[in-house]
Each structure stands twice: as C-alpha cells, then as structure tokens.
Structure 1
Amino acid sequence: MQVAGKTALVTGANSGLGKAVVMALAARGARVLMLCRSAERGAAARDEIITATGNEQLELLVCNLASQADIRATAAEVHQRVGALHLLVNNAGSAFAELGLTADGIERTLAVDHLGPFLLTNLLLDLLKAAAQADGGARIVNVGTKIDTAMDFSDLNWEHRPYRMMAAYGQAKLGNIHFTRELARRLAGTGVTVNCVFPGVFLSNLGGTDGAQNWALKLFAKTFGWALPKPERAAERVLYLLTSDDVADLSGEYFGGRKPITAPEQADDPAANAELWRLSAELTGLTAPERSD
C-alpha cells in the first residue's frame, strides 16, 4: 500500500516504537494523527518529526487510554477531523509494578494494553471501512508481545490472584492476539485487514515516565540498553504490515518479522477469542458490530 496521501492513526506516538512508526509514515507522505497521553510530550514529538520529514500533516490527539470516556471523546474528535482512516496502529502499552484500578474499575494493564485498543478500534471501524471502500483497503496493526501464557477469563481484574507485573502485562498483550483473531473473522469481506505483530526486543520505555516501570526493567535498560536494537528497527516490522503488498490479503495473523509465527495455544481457540470479545464488550459497554459468519 502506498501511504502518501493516506490517513493513519498511531497510538503511543510520542516516543519509542510509536514515534518511529510516525516518523516513517510522515517521511512517506502520510497524514498522521498522533494519539498521545501527554500534550506536552506529544507536541514536542510532532514538532521534531515535522522538522525531520518536512511533512506538516501531523495532528495531535491527547487521550489517556486508561479512560474509556477519553477514548470515546477522542473517537468522536477523529470523526470530526476525517471521513476515512486507512491505517490504524494500536501501539501504546504499559506495565505497572503494583495493582491499580482505573476510574472505570479496570486493572490498569488490561485497560491500557487490551481494552483501550479494543474500544478505540471498534469506535473507528466505520472510518476504516469507508477507506477500504473508497481506496481498496485499510489495515489495522496491533502490537503484541511474545510471552507464552494464557488469559484467566474468570479473573481479568486480578481480584483472586496475587498480582504480578509481567504476568499482567503478558496476559493483556495476549489479549491483542485474541482480539486480532476475532476481529479478522468479523471483518471478512470488508476490505479491512487486521494483524498482530511482535516487534522484537528493543530499547523502550515500557512502564512510561510516571514511575510505574519496576526497578528490574530500569536496571536492565540502564545496564544492557546499549546492546538492544533501537525502536526504528522494531518499526520496520510494523511498517511491513502497513505497506507491503505481500500481506494485502492476510488478516488475523500473528507476525514476527515478515512471516506469521506461532501464537500461544489459547489464541488459536476460536471459542476463547469469542469469549474475550464478549467480556471486552461487556467491560467497555460496547454495542458490538454484527458478526461476519
């Protein structure tokens, strides 16, 4: 897909992988809506990318993905700005050292890493379908991770188990694969594809700048960060799914590099995918679109 003249939305766009993806899309002439939690950091990143690429078609959306009210307001704002959305990159994610709930009563990692992209994507599906109908296709890329785990559908909020940061992160990110599988099934025949990608291990600020990241991750980054690939390398995997003609007709896949890789066993169970969709719709108050059987 040629992205020049197309409209993209990237979450977590002010740093790390998200910023690298925006930089690459802007360099290719796309209009990019940059969804960021911090207006200040988002504006700084936007100005830096405009200076580097000469592309002034970068627009800032300030949204806290832990807040469903924020997500709904942002989706409404996107509808006011654009009539079609060609590319959606659900990149933003975080990990929290301690158990905490959002204002919606949702465990924070689940809220940001799974329910946030689930709700945002569903609220923007009409714009993605409009782009597919007008221009022959639209693509969604969900950024996942590679942790062999399974989701406990009976305790998504960690109310009955001891909370562990990386276990919560792994399960929430596994939700991205479940979501990808079920959404692909529902979007069959619409011209909108959705795939999930493991971007590889790279130097990132997992946990953010608000002190949520635990000491072990901080120590690892400080000690071994020099040896890790930069976000720009990881962004190549995302850009491949956004732009390559080789994957134009692929949907519902879990990629590592340029080929599908094996997902945790639970994500290959259609019943599990449907169950997480049901629970996610319930937790977000979403009226789900009609199924494509």
Structure 2
Amino acid sequence: MADANRKTVLVTGANSGLGRALAESFARDGTRVGMLARNRSRGRAARDDIVAATGNRDIHLFIADLGSQQEVRQAATDILDRFERIDVLINNAGTAYASRRISPEGIERSLAVNHLGPFLLTGLLLERIKASAPARIITVGTRIDTAMDFDDLDWTRRRYRMMQAYGQSKLGNLHFTFELARRLAGTEVTVNCVFPGVFRSNLGGSDGAQGVFWKSVDLLLGWALPTPTQAAERVLYAARSPDLDAVTGQYLGDRRPIKAPSQALDPGANRRLWDISERLVGFVQDTEPS
C-alpha cells in the first residue's frame, strides 16, 4: 500500500466524462485517486488509461451502482478498508432517465442515483473524512430552477417528466450541501456544490436518457460546448484552491458563488429532505451540531 499520509481524492462516476477528467487531473499531480464506477470493465479500462497517461499507479477502482444502497454500502466498506484518509470526496456521478424507473429499493432511480446515493456514501465515509481534516466534500450540481415536491418524490402522483425528475433530484444535491455544511460547521470539513457549466456530456449513458435527448443535443450543439476537461476546471478549483480553505455551504459557478433556487435556501426544506433521506436509506448521520 502507498504512503498512508499521501493526499487521497475519491471521485464518483470516474470512468468517463467529467469524472474521468477529474481523476486524471488529480493523478497527474501525484495524488492517490479512488475511482468509483458502476461498470467494472469500463472502470478498469479508464483506470488503466489514466495510469498509462500519468505514470501514477496509486489509482484505485471501486465498483457500485449508486442507485443500489447495498452496492453503495459495500463500496464504502471497500473504500474504508483501502484508504486511511480521504482528503477530498467529489460526488460527481449523475444520470437521467427518459422514462420512470425504480431502484432495487423501490425508489425512483434519478432520485436514488443523483441524491440518495451520494447522501448515503458521504454519510458512510464521513468519520474518515473528518479524521482527515482539513478536508473537502464537493458535489457536482446543475442549474435548473425548480422545487422538490416532497409529497411526490417518487413521481407516483404526477406524470413523469425526464428533465423535471432530473432537476428535482439534482436540487437535492443543494439541499444536502447546505444542510451538511451547517452540521459540519467548525469541523474543518468544508461542503460545497459546484455547477461545472454546460458541457459535452454522456449524461444517462446507454441505459439512461443519452439514447434520446442528449444524443440530439450533442449532435446539434456538441461542437460548441466545452469538453469535460474544460468543465473540470471549476470543480478542480473547488477541490484545490487555498482561497476556499474556509469557504463552506456555497453554490459555486466559475470561481464564485451563484444563486441557488429559492427552495434550497430554506433551512426548513433542507432539514426536511435530510430527514426523508435518512429514512429512505435507513441510515442516521450523527452530525447534528450540539
């Protein structure tokens, strides 16, 4: 095993797109990198490519579908067994679905993958992150002005709409960021959400929305959009910049705070989603400030 004191960064959704760009950038500066991917073969290929490109062999692959709470729990166990410290956690993985799907736990899948997966993974790793402080938790968000329907998070009462479901689940990232930042005040663990801008993405992949909506966007506008490597710069700034050593509970765009949807600025709504999330994942995070 590599030096236990070596800086360690964990990136979810790390086998392609923005996540891979982030993993490779950290690998190039000699950081120990944990890559969490859903598909083992694609994850291995990405890891091998990054090792070959950077010469950094301290790159570790972990496998989990973030929509499966059982797989998230197993991945967290594997990560804790492998890493003595976690300096930066980047919750990057996200997806969208053209039609309503459910997770193994019976939860609408965009909510399960985009919000509950990061919520559970972060909670399971949190003590190790706190022990590594100063440390940073960064969630990659999006910029859709929407609100969560707390009475129909699963889309059983409303007609399912892909972008509304995606936007609602990603709004959960902001609720989570702001509430966790409040709970971790004074711990030297900062918590921020970053909007990387619109860029060429494989959102949804082969089993999500990519086959319908995003391929059309890429065909029409892909030539004009930034690459994942360019989009990664905003997230890398949030992960590395000393200017953000004490900055927490922010929604960041291009190196500056941006306005969050109004619902996410409501502390009561943040706590409400937190309580619902704990119930849905069956895990209570002991983070409430005394």
TM-score by length of 2: 0.97
How far the C-alpha of 1:214 sits from its partner, in A, is 4.9
Give the match for residue 193 of structure 1. Answer: 190
- What amino acid sits opposite 2:126 in the alignment? L
Give the match for residue 50 of structure 1. Answer: 51
- SS of the equivalent of 2:207 reads coil
Mapped pair 1:175 → 2:172:
yes
Q: Contact conserved, 1:12 with 1:91, CA < 8 A, in 2? A: yes
Mapped pair 1:155 → 2:152:
yes
Give the match for residue 202 of structure 1. Answer: 199
How far the C-alpha of 1:101 sits from its partner, in A, is 0.7
Change (3 A) 1:216 1:78: closer
How far the C-alpha of 1:213 sits from its partner, in A, is 2.6
Q: Provide Cα deviations, 1:234-263, integer angstroms capped at 9, x if missing partner.
A: 100000010001011011100001000000
Distance (Å, rounded) in 2 between the aligned partners of 1:5 and 1:257? 28
Give the match for residue 98 of structure 1. Answer: 99
Q: Provide Cα deviations, 1:198-227, integer angstroms capped at 9, x if missing partner.
A: 000000101112254352321111222111
Distance (Å, rounded) in 2 between the aligned partners of 1:53 and 1:117? 28
- SS of the equivalent of 2:102 reads coil
Give the match for residue 279 of structure 1. Answer: 276
Distance (Å, rounded) in 1 between the aligned partners of 2:191 and 2:76? 19
- What amino acid sits opposite 1:217 in the alignment? W
Give the match for residue 237 of structure 2. Answer: 240
Kindly tell me the number of residue pairs found equivalent between the two proteins. Answer: 286
Structure 2 unaligned segments of length 5 or more: list them.
Answer: none
- What amino acid sits opposite 1:13 in the alignment? A
Q: Provide Cα deviations, 1:103-134, integer angstroms capped at 9, x if missing partner.
A: 101000000000000000000001101101xx
Distance (Å, rounded) in 1 between the aligned partners of 2:37 and 2:130? 24
How far the C-alpha of 1:290 sits from its partner, in A, is 3.5
Q: Contact conserved, 1:96 with 1:214, CA < 8 A, in 2? A: no
Mapped pair 1:74 → 2:66:
no
Give the match for residue 65 of structure 1. Answer: 66
Q: Provide Cα deviations, 1:76-113, integer angstroms capped at 9, x if missing partner.
A: 11111112110100000000000011110100000000
Distance (Å, rounded) in 2 between the aligned partners of 1:37 and 1:290? 28
Q: Provide Cα deviations, 1:123-177, integer angstroms capped at 9, x if missing partner.
A: 0001101101xxxx00011000000000011110001100000000001001000
Q: What is the CA RMSD across the aligned residues, in angstroms? A: 1.1
Structure 1 unaligned segments of length 5 or more: list them.
Answer: none
**Percent of pairs identical after alignment?**
57
Change (3 A) 1:107 1:227: same
How far the C-alpha of 1:292 sits from its partner, in A, is 1.2
Q: Contact conserved, 2:96 with 2:208, CA < 8 A, in 1? A: no
Mapped pair 1:121 → 2:103:
no
Superposed structure 1 runs of 4+ greater than 6 Å apart: none
